[in-house]
Structure 1
Amino acid sequence: MIFSLRKGWRFIRFIVLFCILTFLLYSALERLSSWITPIQHYKIPEGNAVKVAGTSITDEQQERGLWQRLRFFYWYGE
């Protein structure tokens, strides 16, 4: 089996460049996401704002089946 040093060097250079660019893209997306997300996710609403999540269960929620509640859980992520 014959190994070409030029092809091997190109392959190693490609892998190194790919890893560097992947790291740079990941870093850029991480900085962008930290800039977009609010600082305090669960702070108390101020002014006329109303907090949506509550602990009380209404009659309508009690009548729903297991699949409806599971679908609601995956839909809203709560």
Structure 2
Amino acid sequence: MTLAEAAQRCGQELFELARRPGFPEPEASSGGTEFYSWREIAAWLTRAGHDVPGDSVTCAAGQSYSGSPQLWQVDSPSS
């Protein structure tokens, strides 16, 4: 998930929070785009005292996340 996708779910303040020490590093990058783990972002937000949304979110890549953020798993996109 990109930081922009995570910010759509959590709010634009995520861009500012991402500059703080300890924010999760990107797990991968491709063509100048960095990809993050939602599980790591959600855990960091929780530790920092921020509310974390707990319902479903679908990324631009078609990956669906649902349930408790700490338990979110990637589901295959529907065909």
Q: Calculate the TM-score normalised by the size of structure 1.
A: 0.22
Instruction: Point out the structure with the larger helix share.
Output: 1
The structure whose RCO (Cα within 8 Å, separation 6+) is larger is: 2
Rg (Cα) greater in structure? 1
Q: TM-score, normalised by structure 2?
A: 0.22
